Amino acid sequence: MVAPEKIHSAFAARFGSGGRFYCAPGRVNLIGEHTDYNLGFVLPGAIDKAITLEIRPNNSNAYRVYSLDYDDEVRFAAGEAKLPQAWANYVLGVVMEFHSRCFGVPGFDAVFAGDVPLGGGLSSSAALESAFAFAINDLFNYGLGKLELAQIGQSAEHKYAGVRCGIMDQFASLHGEQGKLIQLDCRSLEHEMIPFAPADWRVVLIDTHVKHSLASSEYNQRREQCEAGVKALQKRHTHVKSLRDADLPMLEESRREMGETVFSRCRYVVEENIRLLRGVGLLKAGDFTAFGKEMFASHAGLRHLYAVSCDELDHLVDTAAQLPGTAGARMMGGGFGGCTINLVSEAARETVIARCSESFEKKFGHKPLVYDVVISDGARRLS
């Protein structure tokens, strides 16, 4: 996490005396990908990489926000159209979502910085949205709960970043707890904390350091394909509202109407929910080796049925799969780049990282980045 002192020197230089400090983390997701917007299950956890923020009301109607990492300041007022800086739209989006819920956020000055790798699939944007949503709610005593704050971040992403994301990233950033994963039912929005602090296993992220430009359009298209699947199912089963209400025999029945592409997308989602529930049982029983197999199966589905992987991710997973000590590996997040998440034994960790890195560099000409992550607390006030 970026030290608050570092943020405070920039804040003091720009805006004078200090404000309050908050932070909100990025997330990993062990299993359950592209299931959130299909109202299925996800299993994320907040991580020890976060956006840290200092903020103070400025007795005006203007918002002044400085990004230390981009060395860029924006000033805007409520109701303003989209801003040229992509990062600033997440902040504008959050402010506007409060406004649309009848909380007329007074002007503020803020400085933020983060150590959530950008474009790595660790939800740096959700961390930014959650940091501002949490801070605004606390600073102005709006009394909203974490779920409502997550929904504010999610809507900001829909309207100001154009990605029709599910609730997972913002939910995890706000609800995270140290040493615990969150099993979230995206239909009921109920969650259960699953202890996850295995002594002999480590979560290692290997970042391809690529982000294919199709990522957000393909993401929205997957969502539409799932909606098309639901429409086809509704002809026979009127109660079906999302793929959460479907099972494999129902999909088979409607296969012809759906067409093969939509069928594959739906089949992946239905199977991924089954894998997740089985996986949680295995984690509770402490069987990390068997859990890892579910991770590999998840990747195979994302690659062949859901078609959101890419050569770089596949290569990392295939390489890790051949190395002793890897329980499981899969792409993580929306896909088309970003990270793989690997569950590796403590003893094999160094070798797995070295072998994956070498092999990746040989094939793609650049080294992947590696992050060890610890499951940590969610958004909070620091002072």
Q: Which residues are catalytic?
A: 169
Contact between 144 and ligand GLA per CB under 6 A: no
Which residue carries 């997740």 as its tokens? 276
Helices (H), the chain: 4-15, 86-100, 124-139, 146-156, 168-175, 215-234, 248-253, 255-258, 260-284, 288-304, 311-321, 349-364
Measured from the CB atom, is 165 or 182 closer to ligand GLA? 165
Measured from the CB atom, is 54 or 272 closer to ligand GLA? 272
Choosing from 21, 23, 33, 275, the residue that interacts with ligand GLA (CB under 6 A) is 33
Binding mask 182-221 for ligand GLA (x = CB under 6 A): ----------------------------------------
Measured from the CB atom, is 169 or 271 closer to ligand GLA? 169
Q: How far apart are CA 164 and CA 224, in angstroms?
A: 10
Measured from the CB atom, is 21 or 37 closer to ligand GLA? 37
Of 32-40, 74-82, 199-207, 309-317, the segment contacting ligand GLA by CB under 6 A is 32-40
Contact between 331 and ligand GLA per CB under 6 A: no
Give min distance, CB of 208 to ligand GLA, in A.
15
Choosing from 7, 25, 36, 302, the residue that interacts with ligand GLA (CB under 6 A) is 36
- Strand duo 191-195 + 180-185: pairing: antiparallel
Contact between 166 and ligand GLA per CB under 6 A: yes
> Interface residues for ligand GLA in 83-142 (CB under 6 A)?
123
Report yes or no: 199 and 242 within 8 Å, Cβ to Cβ.
Answer: no
Longest dimension (CA), the chain: 66
Measured from the CB atom, is 7 or 215 closer to ligand GLA? 215
Of 3-11, 34-42, 252-260, 275-283, the segment contacting ligand GLA by CB under 6 A is 34-42
- How many residues are present in the chain? 383
Please report how many Cα atoms fall inside a 13 Å half-sphere around the Cα of residue 114, on the Cβ side: 29
Q: How far apart are CA 382 and CA 67, in angstroms?
A: 19
Give min distance, CB of 357 to ligand GLA, in A.
24
Give min distance, CB of 368 to ligand GLA, in A.
19
Choosing from 152, 168, 186, 258, the residue that interacts with ligand GLA (CB under 6 A) is 168
Output the DSSP codes for 324-376: TTEEEEEE-SS-SEEEEEEEEEGGGHHHHHHHHHHHHHHHHSSPPEEEE--B-
292 phi and psi angles, rounded to 5 deg: -60, -35
Contact between 160 and ligand GLA per CB under 6 A: no
Choosing from 97, 109, 138, 169, the residue that interacts with ligand GLA (CB under 6 A) is 169
Give min distance, CB of 36 to ligand GLA, in A.
5
Give min distance, CB of 38 to ligand GLA, in A.
9
Which residue carries 């070498």 as its tokens? 358
Spell out the residues 6+ positions from residue 25 whose beta carbon is closer than 8 angstroms to its own: 46, 47, 48, 49, 50, 51, 116, 127, 173, 176, 376, 377, 378, 379
Give min distance, CB of 39 to ligand GLA, in A.
12
Distance set, CA 131 to CA 107, 128, 134, 337 (Å): 17, 5, 5, 25
Report yes or no: 102 and 140 within 8 Å, Cβ to Cβ.
Answer: no
Of 53-61, 165-173, 195-203, 233-241, the segment contacting ligand GLA by CB under 6 A is 165-173
Choosing from 11, 15, 22, 37, the residue that interacts with ligand GLA (CB under 6 A) is 37
What token pair was written down for 80? 């303003």
Q: How far apart are CA 362 and CA 125, in angstroms?
A: 31
Q: How far apart are CA 293 and CA 57, in angstroms?
A: 50
Contact between 34 and ligand GLA per CB under 6 A: yes
Give min distance, CB of 30 to ligand GLA, in A.
11
- Count of residues that interact with ligand GLA, criterion CB under 6 A: 11
**Residues at the interface with ligand GLA (CB under 6 A):** 33-34, 36-37, 123, 165-166, 168-169, 333-334
